[in-house]
């Protein structure tokens, strides 16, 4: 035993561990251990090179993707808008609104329609506008708010305040005078020396809803009241109506219904939806349903919830609040509240594309081909070729109330520039415009013989 013990002891190195053991757990040849340590050091020396290679690869991919995107953008995206209008209205626009012949350069990193629609909501700045509110009572016992832009430090600068031109704005669905797109156009109108007033649909500016009826795309009674009120206050002032989305539908239906008695020198719309059936079909596609339809329906349900007490006098509010799409909301609330037999009847009556032959007021409508709310095939391009008072300006990109341009699109948009040029052209060249849209007298018979409008 002693000999064996000494032999074992003599095999141990002075360090106390058997030769080749690492940590006393495994047995390797000493050379292998040295080689392993050298390999670790070698791999450690290679790591910075591998990391640098990965970074270079990622940078190369990013540069390649960016270059490809920019090449696609410059080759395919910037285009001149499509202008569809009869002569001489078309010539009037080309002369006094040069933007209709210029290329539109949408923001390179969000030129797609849905992105334009979403980014506008997230990034658009809010210029300060001070309003003076006026309450109007309606014939059915309701109320609505008019917001007059009242900048204390800015006068219109018009030589005759009584004849100072007025711009009437109509916001989109559940919108009001505080929407960013309204604020920008109101500021522009004031800078041009015009009065600006915003028509807020019932219940949309925080005021109490006094009746169970809020608003409807085909019911223009409140707009008729507003126009009559403005004309009574400023009988010598020219008036133009500018509607956005739902507000645009109201403007077009009003112009089609009132004809020469509209009380307007011109009208203008942005991102109007021409056919309610096509709009709901587009918004019920899976992606659009998630991004837009459900959000707007939530806003509508919140409006009903805020005014639940008065609405419950006539409608089943709980049933309305279960709506999960705009179509379901219109079936359960709008069509019922405004006396339609069905949602389909309401949509037929509310679609302005069927009324363009009754337009006796010059109208310019800006739409985008990639608007998820208003498909291009629903825009009445053919009809505009034989209606002397209608001009359609259609861009390839822009989305719904987007029309963003520049690398950081927080401020002025393409839509704002079209607005500024057209409004100035209307107010500064009224006689020339009137002559342009009445030159084709032969069209009057065709327009007067168009089928009657559906009742409200």
By annotation, the residues acting in catalysis are 245, 371, 400
Assign 358 to helix, strand or coil. helix
Cβ neighbours of 348 (radius 10 Å): 16
How many whole angstroms from its chain centre is CA 94?
Answer: 26
Residue 296 CA to residue 319 CA, distance in Å, equals 17
The answer for residues whose C-beta is within 8 angstroms of residue 236's C-beta and 6 or more apart is: 160, 162, 163
Burial class from Cβ neighbours inside 10 Å (0-12, 13-18, 19+) for residue 340 reads: buried
Element containing residue 417 per DSSP (H, E)? helix 414-428
**What string of DSSP letters covers 175-243?**
--TTSHHHHHHHHHHHHTT-EEEEEEPTTSSSPPP-SS----TT--HHHHHHHHHHHHH-TTS-EEEEE
Pairing mode of beta strands 195-200, 143-149: antiparallel
Peptide bond into 419 cis (omega under 30): no
89-113 burial, b at 16+ Cβ within 10 Å, e below that, comes to bbebbeebbebbeeebbbbbebbbb
């Amino acid at each position: 035993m002693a000999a064996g013990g000494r032999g074992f002891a003599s095999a141990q190195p002075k360090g106390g561990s058997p030769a080749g053991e690492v940590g006393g757990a495994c047995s390797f040849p000493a050379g292998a251990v040295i080689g392993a340590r050298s390999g670790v050091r070698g791999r450690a020396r290679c790591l910075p090179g591998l990391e640098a290679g990965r970074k270079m690869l990622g940078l190369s991919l990013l540069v390649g993707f960016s270059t490809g995107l920019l090449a696609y953008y410059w080759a395919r995206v910037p285009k001149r808008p499509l202008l569809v209008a009869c002569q001489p209205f078309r010539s009037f626009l080309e002369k006094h609104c040069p933007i209709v012949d210029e290329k539109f350069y949408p923001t390179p990193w969000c030129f797609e329609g849905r992105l334009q629609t979403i980014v506008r909501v997230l990034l658009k700045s809010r210029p300060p506008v001070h309003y003076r509110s006026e309450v109007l009572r309606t014939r059915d016992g309701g109320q609505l708010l008019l917001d007059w832009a009242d900048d204390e430090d800015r006068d219109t600068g018009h030589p005759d305040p009584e004849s100072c031109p007025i711009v009437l704005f109509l916001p989109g669905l559940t919108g009001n005078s505080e929407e960013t797109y309204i604020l920008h156009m109101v500021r522009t109108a004031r800078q041009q020396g015009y009065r600006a007033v915003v028509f807020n649909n019932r219940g949309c500016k925080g005021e109490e809803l006094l009746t169970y009826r809020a608003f409807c795309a085909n019911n223009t009674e409140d707009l008729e009241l507003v126009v009559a009120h403005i004309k009574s206050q400023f009988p010598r002032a020219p008036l133009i109506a500018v509607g956005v989305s739902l507000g645009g539908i109201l403007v077009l239906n009003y112009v089609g219904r009132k004809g020469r008695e509209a009380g307007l020198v011109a009208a203008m719309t942005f991102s109007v939806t021409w056919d309610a059936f096509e709009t709901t079909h587009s918004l019920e596609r899976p992606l659009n349903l998630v991004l837009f339809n459900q959000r707007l329906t939530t806003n509508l349900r919140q409006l009903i919830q805020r005014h639940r007490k008065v609405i419950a006098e006539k409608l089943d509010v709980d049933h309305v609040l279960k709506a999960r799409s705009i179509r379901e909301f219109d079936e359960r609330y709008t069509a019922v509240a405004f006396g339609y037999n069905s949602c389909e009847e309401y949509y037929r009556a509310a679609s302005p594309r069927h009324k363009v032959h009754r337009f006796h007021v010059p109208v310019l409508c800006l739409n985008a081909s990639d608007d998820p709310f208003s498909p291009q095939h629903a825009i009445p391009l053919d009809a505009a070729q034989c209606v002397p008072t209608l001009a359609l300006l259609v861009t390839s990109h822009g989305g719904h109330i987007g029309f963003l341009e520049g690398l950081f699109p927080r401020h002025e948009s393409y839509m704002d520039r079209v607005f500024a040029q057209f409004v100035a052209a209307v107010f500064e060249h009224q006689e020339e415009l009137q002559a342009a849209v009445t030159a084709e007298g032969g069209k009057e018979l065709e327009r007067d013989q168009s089928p009657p409008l559906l009742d409200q």
